[in-house]
Amino acid sequence: MNKEEYLSDEDRLFYGPIATRKILIVCKGNTCRSVIFHSILKKEKRLLNTEVFSAGVDVKEINMIDNTKKILNQHNTDIAKNKTNKISEYKDMYIDDLIVLDSSLKIPDYIKTKRTIVFDIPDPDHDKDPKNIAKKEVKFLNYEDTYQSIRKIINDLDIT
């Protein structure tokens, strides 16, 4: 429930609409890092009058990776409404805070934002070590590390 729902019709006429802040979290494919960041941010920061979105600049999958679902479920994070989004879906929206999770990404010029915050969070699904590529348990540990890294970043992040 947002703050605006608490206002009477008379108060809305006097105060006008309450501005909604928009945060867009971006990674390459929007199947792991940005989904985890989005989910933790919504769960732990409880931001008022804020909409949080996530997207990818090079979306190839249409669903989250199974390990993403598994790690979020393990941490009791609601992912029922999460879906993979392309950054182009936000081209007509003004973004207050753009959070980029990979500094090598090229953000399209049509994304208009007040502030850009950049992190370099490794993609847990792209382990470069050939010995580990087939090991599902190693990959899942990478997801847990990613979850904990993102959680720490969010706890230290000043976006209130």
Q: Could you tell me if residue 118 is inside a domain? A: yes
Q: Could you tell me if residue 1 is inside a domain? A: no
Whether the model clears a pTM of 0.95, i.e. scores above it, the answer is no
pLDDT tens-place string over residues 87-144? 999 999 999 999 999 999 999 999 999 999 999 998 887 655 555 445 555 566 688 8
pLDDT tens-place string over residues 101-112? 999 999 999 999
Q: Is 63 helix (H, G, I), strand (E, B) or coil?
A: coil
Provide the domain limits for residue 144.
19-156
Nearest to 98 by CA among 110, 111, 116: 116
Q: Are 115 and 23 in contact (CB under 8 A)?
A: no
Any idea how long the chain is? 160
Q: Write the DSSP symbol of residue 86.
A: B
- For 37, the token pair is 């960041």
Question: Could you tell me the strand order of the sheet in which 112-118 lies?
Answer: 50-56, 21-27, 94-100, 112-118
Interatomic CA distance for residues 160 and 158, integer angstroms: 6
Q: What percent of the chain has pLDDT over 70?
A: 72
Q: Is 14 helix (H, G, I), strand (E, B) or coil?
A: helix
* Number of domains observed in the structure of the chain: 1
Q: Could you tell me if residue 109 is inside a domain? A: yes
Q: Could you tell me if residue 94 is inside a domain? A: yes
Q: The CATH number of the domain where 25 resides is what?
A: 3.40.50.2300
Q: How far does the chain reach from its first CA to its final CA, in angstroms?
A: 18
